[in-house]
Amino acid sequence: MALKSTIFKADLQISDLGRNYYHDHSLTIARHPSETDERLMVRLLAFALHAHEDLVFANGMGTDDEPALWQKDLTGAIELWIEVGQPDEKRVRRACGRARQVVIYSYGGHGADVWLDKMNNDRDRARNLTVVSVPASATRALAALAQRSMKLQITIQDGQVWMGDGKDTVHIEIPAAVVSQE
């Protein structure tokens, strides 16, 4: 019998001072049986950094045709394609060909560093690709915030992110250039 996804509910209060974006989002997120809390929380971080009314979670883990998150315009064209982890080169090239902007949030310590070195060699070919390496210490701390029902306050300013649940707060440094140009 196949395992089913675990459903998480997240209420996010996002204050992005650089974009003047101050909104609350109530999200329902399906965590694939093979997905960790760490990856789930990196997806939430990516959502917060690019928050927009049209940004949605996709079926990224179960299909090659969809990312972790994406944003489409009214015509169905893909404005933003967000991957989490270390996608293979073919998947990245396909995403860069389909979307106006592609952002990959890599995490996982040394394995992610090796993957990132390889991507940096190929990145010059894709002008619409941004790769961000999220420190392993930050993603482990984010994983500790994961609960089936979450209320998170997220503040973003000058490449700094603070994500907290009222008891604990995680600080993460993200390059300011990653934030959506909206």
What separation, in Å, do the N-terminal and C-terminal C-alpha atoms of the chain show? 44
- Rounded Cα distance between 16 and 75, Å, is 27
Q: Which of 141, 61, 130, 128 is nearest to 98 (CA)?
A: 128
Euclidean distance between CA atoms 82 and 51, whole angstroms: 12
Residues 80, 98: contact at Cβ < 8 Å? no
Q: Where are the extended beta strands (E) located within 73-117?
A: 78-84, 99-106
**Domain definitions of the chain by residue range:** 6-177
Give residues with Cβ within 8 angstroms of 67, minimum separation 6: 58, 60, 81, 82, 83, 95
CATH topology of domain 6-177: Restriction endonuclease-like alpha-beta roll fold (3.10.640)
Tokens 């994406």 correspond to 70
Q: Taking the complete model, does pTM exceed 0.95, yes or no?
A: no
Q: What is the pLDDT along the chain (182 residues), one digit of tens a residue?
A: 567 889 999 999 999 999 999 999 999 999 988 899 999 999 999 999 999 999 999 876 666 688 999 999 999 999 999 999 888 888 888 999 999 999 999 887 656 667 666 666 655 567 888 888 898 899 999 999 999 999 999 999 998 999 999 999 999 998 644 544 33
